[in-house]
Amino acid sequence: MDKEMNYSSRKEILANWQPDNEVFWNKYGKKIANQNLTVSTIALTLSFCIWVLWATIAAHLNSIGFHFTVDQLFTLAAFPGLFGATFRFLYTYMPSIFGGKNWTFFCTAILLIPLFGLGAAIKDPATPYSVFCIYLALIGLAGSNFSSSVANIGSFFPMNKRGTALGINAGIGNLGVSVVYFVAPFVIGTALFAPLFGGPETASNGKLWFLQNAVYIWIIPTIIILGLILKYMDNLPIKRQSAKGLFSMFSNKHTWILSLIYTCGFGAFIGYSAALSLLVNKEFPEVSFAFAAFIGPFIGAGIRPVGGWISDKIDNGSIVTFWSLIGMFFGGIGVLWGIDIHNFALFFGSFLFLFLMTGFETGASFRMMPHIYSDKAQASLITGFTGAVGAYGAFFIPKLFGWAYASYNNVAPAFYILIAFTFVTILFTWFFYSRKNSGIKC
């Protein structure tokens, strides 16, 4: 490319996008790419806030007049995970079809529908269970935004900066889980927003709850972010991934092993985040947990980039993944022990350690993928696929807890299954990747 390149408009710059050309990058690309990264990351953080907001509400519903069973409450907590994970497969392709700016605007704007609807539903104890199912399915679409965000942002950056950009986008985005847990206790206990969002509901213990605030509070940030998307994001031409390339990866054993590994890590992170408040409310009703619920997700999301950094430092993500999984195994045992002896300190301390290990595991396992697949296009497909599969943890873990309570009146069977799943994942990780003679260094 001519070093004296001169483009007269942003549209022309985007049409000739060559981020790996240093002259182009410094003159035109860096500013535009960073603008898109910043707004996309803010939008993704909001999406994670909305995706798990139900977990901050569910434990209070029956105290304000609803009459849902324990299994129904855990099923509702699982609904956003089910739909968020399923639509991730589709969302991966949307930026290349409709444009990154257009799709980010659309998939953020449609979240206003369940926000308005769910807020109104919470105010009326006569709202049918089926209506909550519909709104929470729509809330689940917020979790799908991860796949389209990652698919879009990577193309703006040079290869040597792409990993950092994606790490910022995904890592900060995941912090939305912690943000919503941090904000919710303050807004549901204050009358500050009553003129806008409506009056309180009286709980069975006499307390006044403004549960609708936990939903309505995200409407104004959503509208602001829509304005930022229109002003600062762009539709960058992205090469469409072929369906043939997608289906070819299914015959590769590593696709399924990596999906198992990532599901064990990220699936645990998002699944426990979605179900933890309900679990504490059921097992330790005497504990006021609302203001501490954000700590575990904050640790898990915050440490994720460190897992990738350590893997790069020792040039081996599989080793970090392996030892993180062992940590998760013992963390799960500690949680189960804390429940068994009704010791909240042991229970919560073990859960925090478990969240810490999921952060290391997800950061390290994502680093493994491009080192296992030499074809960059296929590595990108695998990353999207495993990200979608892993998100099902947000469905299966709350559903598993609900099943255990409904069938055995005890959550222990669910933890037996989760601990066994972690043990199996440890074996697969060791045999295929981390042992000395595995044949793959990743």
Of 179, 212, 240, the residue at which a domain comes to its end is 240
Q: Are 370 and 225 in the same domain?
A: no
* CA–CA separation, 254 and 140 (whole Å): 28
Residue 401 domain flag: yes
Please tell me the predicted confidence (pLDDT) of residue 331.
97
With bands split at pLDDT 50, 70 and 90, how would you rate the model's confidence at 245?
low
Q: Which residues contact 138 (CB under 8 A, 6 or more apart)?
A: 83, 110, 111, 113, 114, 117
Assess whether 234 and 259 both reside in one domain. no
**Domain count of the fold of the chain:** 2
pLDDT value of position 376: 61
Tokens 């601990």 — which residue? 419
Residue 442 lies in a domain: no
User: If we measure between CA atoms, which residue out of 384, 45, 434, 77 comes closest to residue 238?
Assistant: 384
Asked, for residue 319, whether it belongs to a domain, the answer is yes
Q: What is the pLDDT of residue 152?
A: 87
Share of the chain above pLDDT 90, in %: 53
Based on the domain organization, do 214 and 292 belong to the same domain? no
Of 240, 273, 294, which residue is a domain's last?
240
At residue 116, the pLDDT reads: 95
pLDDT > 70 fraction of the chain, expressed in percent and rounded? 95
Range of the domain at 136: 13-240
Which of 240, 275, 290 is a domain's end point? 240
Q: Are residues 219 and 261 in the same domain?
A: no
The pLDDT confidence band at residue 1, using thresholds 50, 70 and 90, is very low
Please give the Cα distance from 382 to 416 (Å, whole number). 29
| Residue pointed to by tokens 């950061």 | 363
Q: Is 6 inside any structural domain?
A: no
Q: Clarify whether residues 132 and 198 are in a common domain.
A: yes
Average pLDDT rounded to a whole number, residues 422-434: 96
Is residue 125 located within the same domain as residue 39?
Answer: yes
Query: Is 323 a member of any domain?
Result: yes
Q: Tell whether 327 and 387 lie within a shared domain.
A: yes
Q: Is 3 part of a structural domain of the chain?
A: no
Mean pLDDT value across the chain: 89
Based on the domain organization, do 230 and 247 belong to the same domain? no
Whether residue 219 is found in the same domain as residue 333: no
Residue 214: which CATH number?
1.20.1250.20
C-beta of residue 47 within 8 angstroms of C-beta of residue 146: yes
**Residue 336 reports pLDDT greater than 70:** yes
Same-domain check for residues 171 and 285: no
- Least confident window among 239-253, 302-316, 335-349: 239-253
| DSSP code string of 116-135 | HHHHHHHT-TT--HHHHHHH
What tens digit of pLDDT does each residue of 287-320 get?
988 788 899 999 998 898 888 888 888 888 899 9
